[in-house]
């Protein structure tokens, strides 16, 4: 029997616009019994849980604890803001809020994101008035798209089916897929592809719908050309698949929906270049050797990492990975977690993660066993990557990719060879953000912990300013 799900049942009933009497009738129980369930005075039986999913078209994952854990982590991060310090909120308070009112919890997250955006806009305006450099506003569309990807577990069956159907229809040659894609565009879509010299605006791909022409920049490496062509094929052929996904309620603005369409076209490109079954089988056979998979499928290190996170097909799953991408300043541009690890929604990554340390070892694959404050252990690899589009004067951008899984899955990866996965002393203690982390003696603590009152003694100094001394 499922315990403490009354808040979710009540939220579902209200979304459906039903009274307790009406919902109880559809479930075949009394209104008084439903009232007891909603107030967690009676458990939600397996039989009733099945009826709920059948009668109200909801997925079982709606009642899973995993969603509560992520919601709780997001709220903990929000209430970690110094503005809430005087309210003395506890973990129990936040857990109760998530359990009793998940809809209110999500609304608070939306409200806080809007507050952050308004605050940054005000700072931006003030900076302009004072003649200072403007503050960059928060990119809310990217946050919403990240939420969409996380909600769907980064697996989109319709796009996978579309890619497989295209392979059959176009009869691509895996040894020369670029020629096959160009031919498909010409014969099936009446679109030509031209490789052009570097343009003043530095566009690497430009589609002209009037001329039915795709211009691909000469500065792109072959692997990037392949990806851009596959991306454009996705936009041209998968409109009926993309449209309903982009209408997901988590996307609240036109900008979010446009960005989601582009991100999903990238997903489709990965599915074209790395077909699900052959890629998943190769990944298992080669023990997730990213560079080797890149050579075999003629894709980049980053493209392979992204594709590995999408291997969620029921009955043919790969390792459950998480992925994070950061720049040298610690800004997170991409994040997804199928491993269960928690990412900061409103801040950067923990500086003790190997992805943050990767910049000190340019191009090398760094390996780390780590443990979160809750006891969850992970095995992670990280590597910096550089990108330059153009000639001598073109700037190079550098970023780091982190890919990891639960420690118990690490043996499936080639990177675990020669590492004692049972050595507790080799595990690095990490956290989500300083405000949420309980490791009070961390040498890299930048802020006091939300969960413990700040203790300052002017006569005693720890290794870090906010690090406590025994």
> What local confidence, expressed as pLDDT, does residue 193 receive?
96
- The predicted-structure confidence for 51-103, as pLDDT tens digits, reads as follows 887 777 666 555 655 556 667 777 777 776 767 766 777 777 877 787 777 77
Domains within the chain, CATH numbers bracketed? 6-105 (1.10.260.40), 157-298 (1.10.10.2910), 322-429 (3.30.450)
pLDDT classification of 416: cutoffs 50, 70, 90: very high
Highest mean pLDDT (candidates 119-128, 295-304, 449-458):
295-304
CA distance 65 to 386: 39
Contact between residue 337 and residue 312 where contact means Cβ atoms under 8 Å apart: no
Q: Single out the residue of 358, 408, 402 nearest to residue 380, CA to CA.
A: 402
Q: With 70 as the cut, is the pLDDT of residue 464 above it?
A: no
| The pLDDT of residue 173 | 86
Confidence tier at 50 by pLDDT (50, 70, 90): confident
Distances from the Cα of 445 to the Cα of 157, 171, 441, 462, 464, angstroms: 42, 55, 8, 11, 7
Count CB-CB contacts under 10 A for residue 1.
11
Per-residue model confidence (pLDDT) at position 1? 46
Locate 159 and state its tokens.
Answer: 């796009």
Q: What is the pLDDT of residues 247-287, one digit of tens each?
A: 998 898 999 999 999 999 999 999 999 999 999 999 999 99
Overall pTM surpassing 0.95 (yes/no): no
φ/ψ of 289, rounded to 5, equals -75, 105
At 353-408, the pLDDT tens digits run 999 889 999 999 999 999 988 788 999 999 999 877 677 777 788 999 999 999 99
323 with 401: CB under 8 angstroms? Answer: yes
- Tell me the average pLDDT across 461-469: 66
Q: What are phi and psi of 72, to 5 degrees?
A: -65, -40
Please count the helices (runs of H) and the strands (runs of E) in the chain.
17, 9
What pLDDT does residue 225 have? 94
- Look up residue 47 and give its two tokens: 């039989």
Mean pLDDT of the chain: 84
Q: Which residues of 172-211 are buried (b: 16+ CB within 10 A; e: fewer)?
A: beeeebbebbbebbeeeeebebeeeeeeeeeebbbbeeee
Residues β-bridged to residue 335: 324
**How large is the average pLDDT for residues 300-314?**
96
Provide the pLDDT confidence category of residue 200 given band limits of 50, 70 and 90: low
Round to the nearest angstrom and report the end-to-end CA distance of the chain. 45
């Amino acid at each position: 029997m499922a315990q403490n799900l009354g808040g979710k049942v009540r939220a579902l009933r209200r979304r459906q616009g039903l009274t307790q009497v009406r919902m109880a009738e559809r479930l075949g129980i009394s209104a008084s019994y439903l009232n007891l369930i909603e107030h967690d005075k009676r458990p939600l039986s397996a039989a009733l849980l099945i009826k709920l999913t059948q009668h109200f078209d909801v997925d079982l994952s709606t009642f899973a604890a995993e969603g509560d854990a992520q919601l709780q982590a997001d709220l903990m991060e929000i209430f970690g803001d110094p503005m809430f310090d005087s309210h003395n909120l506890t973990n129990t308070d936040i857990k109760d809020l998530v359990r009793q009112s998940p809809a209110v919890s999500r609304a608070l997250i939306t409200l806080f994101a809007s507050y952050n955006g308004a605050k940054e806009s005000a700072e931006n305006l003030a900076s302009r008035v004072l003649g200072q450099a403007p503050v960059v506003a928060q990119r809310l569309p990217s946050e919403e798209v990240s939420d969409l990807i996380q909600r769907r577990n980064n697996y989109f069956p319709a796009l996978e089916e579309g890619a497989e159907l295209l392979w059959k229809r176009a009869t691509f040659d895996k040894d020369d897929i670029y020629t096959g894609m160009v031919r498909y565009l010409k014969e099936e879509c009446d679109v030509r592809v031209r490789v052009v010299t570097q343009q003043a605006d530095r566009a690497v791909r430009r589609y002209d719908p009037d001329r039915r022409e795709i211009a691909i920049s000469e500065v792109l490496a072959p692997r990037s050309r392949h990806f851009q062509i596959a991306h454009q094929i996705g936009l041209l052929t998968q409109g009926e698949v993309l449209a309903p996904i982009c209408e997901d309620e988590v996307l609240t603005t036109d900008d979010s929906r446009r960005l989601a369409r582009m991100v999903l076209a990238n997903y489709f490109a990965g599915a074209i270049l790395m077909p699900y079954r052959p890629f998943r089988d190769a990944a298992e056979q080669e023990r997730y050797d990213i560079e080797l998979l890149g050579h075999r499928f003629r894709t980049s290190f980053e493209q392979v990492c992204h594709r590995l996170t999408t291997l969620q097909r029921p009955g043919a799953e790969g390792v459950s990975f998480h992925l994070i991408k950061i720049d040298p300043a610690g800004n997170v541009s991409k994040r997804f977690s199928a491993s269960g690890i928690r990412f900061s929604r409103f801040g950067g990554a923990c500086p003790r993660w190997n992805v943050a340390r990767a910049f000190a070892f340019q191009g090398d694959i760094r390996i780390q066993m780590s443990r979160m404050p809750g006891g969850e252990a992970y095995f992670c690899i990280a590597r910096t990557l550089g990108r330059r589009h153009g000639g001598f004067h073109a700037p190079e951008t550098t970023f780091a990719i982190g890919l990891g899984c639960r420690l118990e899955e690490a043996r499936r990866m080639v990177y675990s060879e020669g590492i004692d996965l049972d050595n507790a002393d080799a595990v690095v203690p990490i956290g989500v953000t300083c405000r949420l982390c309980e490791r009070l003696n961390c040498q890299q603590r930048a802020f006091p912990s939300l969960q413990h009152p700040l203790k300052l003694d002017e006569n005693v100094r720890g290794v870090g300013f906010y690090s406590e001394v025994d």
